[in-house]
Amino acid sequence: MSLEDFDGFLSQSFVAERFANDLLLATNNVDDDDLDILTSPKRLSFDIKELQDLLAKFVSSNSTRLVTQLSHISELKKTHEGLNVRQINSSFKRLENDFIIPYDDALKLYSALKRIHATSNLLRNASYYVFLLQQLESIFDQNEFDKPPFNDLAKFTQISTNLDLHIQDASSLMSLQLVKDYQPVHRKRTVFIIDIASTLLSQITADTSKQGIANICFTLATLADNSFLNCIQSLLDDYTSKSSQSIIKTLTSPKTIVNTMEKVSHLAKAIYHLSKYMQETTFPKLSQTYDQYCQEKLNYNSDLFTHFWRQIALFIGPKFKETISRGGPVAKALKNSSQQYKQAIVSGIIQSGDDITENSIPVTMMINAIKVLNN
């Protein structure tokens, strides 16, 4: 046997009475009416003797280690006896009363203060949110989004932007049911405003004021920059197509070129005002102008006004060449009206912009497009 065989006696679950009962059962026959109580003590005496022998052997084999441990225990005992336990306990008690308990109390107060501060911040942020909400509701109650110069579009956009930024800065607001319930409403209304601004931009005219253009552009560029780009492209395509087709129709009736160019000039003036504003104004949240932004995103290499006339020139130039090359009365009438065409086109372009002269690029491009009339 080894010392490990006696580990059961050291177990926390060891119960002497249970062990004695098990030992009696093990040394008796259940079918025998006589109870043998002598064998169990003998077995225990044998185990005790065996354990004593094992301990004697262990001590003999590990005498040096045991002496060292006993010496260490003796030193610890002397150290312990030399300590003033009462004084230590008293010092610790004073430390606990003077520092530990006050510190724990301070932590509790700090935790409470943090919660009060968080609640105060939430209430302050909620108040500002409600303030912005009331402003938006007031604008929608007036419902004057399509009334020139469309100031309510810009007001909604600015307040809406402030509202979104406020929610980003105070994320705890999303814990409030009011904010959760209003977010879908706000998104729906934003889409509504984007649709109105898109429609207004697509219908811009020479009579649209500079402030009106500014409010429309600011709204679309801020709330939906992709929609803004799409509207600009759509507007240019629409006005370019209408202008080009109107000029082409004059090929069979040269005398109408003057009236036609007056109508084209009116469309061009709308593009001019829009182009001027875009060249002078910085795009929201960017360091570049509207014009620079559109040139980059839409792959233009000039301002909108110049691009407008370039597209018209590229479209009508081949049509004029084709008509002249066919000859006949139509070609003859066109050639006879070359000076009238030149004057009407130059006049129409100059009238469409405040700082446009005969030497401006749009004029040069359009004159080159009809130079076939002089051949």
Quick one: pLDDT at residue 158? 96
Classify residue 289 by its DSSP letter.
B
Do 119 and 238 fall into the same domain? no
Which of 223, 248, 271 terminates a domain? The answer is 223
Residue 64 within a domain: yes
Do 71 and 199 fall into the same domain? no
370 closest CA partner among 332, 328, 333, 334: 334
Do 218 and 153 fall into the same domain? yes
Residue 331 within a domain: yes
**Domain at 305, CATH number:** 1.20.58
Print the domain residue range for 130. 97-223
pLDDT in tens, the chain (375 residues): 666 666 667 777 777 777 777 777 777 776 666 667 677 777 777 777 777 777 777 777 777 777 777 777 777 666 666 566 666 677 778 887 877 887 887 788 788 888 888 888 888 999 999 999 999 999 999 989 999 999 999 999 999 999 999 999 988 889 889 999 999 999 999 999 999 999 999 999 999 999 999 999 999 999 999 999 999 999 999 999 999 999 999 999 999 999 999 999 999 999 999 999 999 999 998 999 999 999 999 998 999 999 999 999 999 999 999 999 999 999 999 999 999 999 999 999 999 999 999 999 999 999 999 999 987
Which two three-digit tokens encode residue 34?
A: 């006589």
Residue 89 within a domain: no
Phi/psi-derived region of residue 95, left when phi > 0, alpha when psi is between -120 and 50, beta in every other case: alpha
Do 218 and 229 fall into the same domain? no
Do 210 and 231 fall into the same domain? no
Quick one: pLDDT at residue 5? 65
245 closest CA partner among 153, 159, 315: 315
Task: State the Cα–Cα distance between residues 327 and 322, nearest whole angstrom.
Answer: 9
Q: List C-alpha distances in Å: 318 to 4, 314, 323, 325, 374.
A: 109, 7, 9, 10, 15
Which of 223, 256, 280 terminates a domain? The answer is 223
Do 369 and 241 fall into the same domain? yes
Residue 92 within a domain: no
For 251-256, which contacts have Cβ atoms below 8 Å and span 24 or more sequence positions? 251/319, 251/320, 251/323, 251/330, 251/334, 252/330, 254/333, 254/334, 254/336, 254/337, 254/340, 254/341, 255/337, 255/340
Quick one: pLDDT at residue 84? 62
Do 292 and 356 fall into the same domain? yes
The tally of CA atoms less than 13 A away on the side-chain side of residue 232 is: 28
Residue 178 within a domain: yes
- Measured in whole angstroms, the distance separating CA 211 from the mean position of its chain's CA atoms is 31
Classify residue 208 by its DSSP letter.
S
Task: State the Cα–Cα distance between residues 33 and 43, nearest whole angstrom.
Answer: 21
Q: How many C-beta neighbours within 10 Å does residue 257 have?
A: 25
Residue 90 within a domain: no
| pTM, rounded to two decimals | 0.71
Q: List C-alpha distances in Å: 131 to 137, 162, 163.
A: 10, 11, 10
Do 370 and 236 fall into the same domain? yes
Do 369 and 233 fall into the same domain? yes
b/e for 337-356, b at 16 or more Cβ within 10 A?
bbeebbebbbbbbbbbbeeb
Which two three-digit tokens encode residue 159?
A: 């307040």
- Are 272 and 305 in contact, with CB atoms under 8 Å apart? yes
Do 248 and 287 fall into the same domain? yes
Residue 91 within a domain: no
Question: Structural domain tally of the chain?
Answer: 3
Phi/psi-derived region of residue 285, left when phi > 0, alpha when psi is between -120 and 50, beta in every other case: left
Which of 82, 114, 134 terminates a domain? The answer is 82
Residue 136 within a domain: yes
Do 185 and 126 fall into the same domain? yes
Do 268 and 298 fall into the same domain? yes
Quick one: pLDDT at residue 105? 78
Which two three-digit tokens encode residue 357?
A: 């002269």
Task: State the Cα–Cα distance between residues 56 and 361, nearest whole angstrom.
Answer: 116
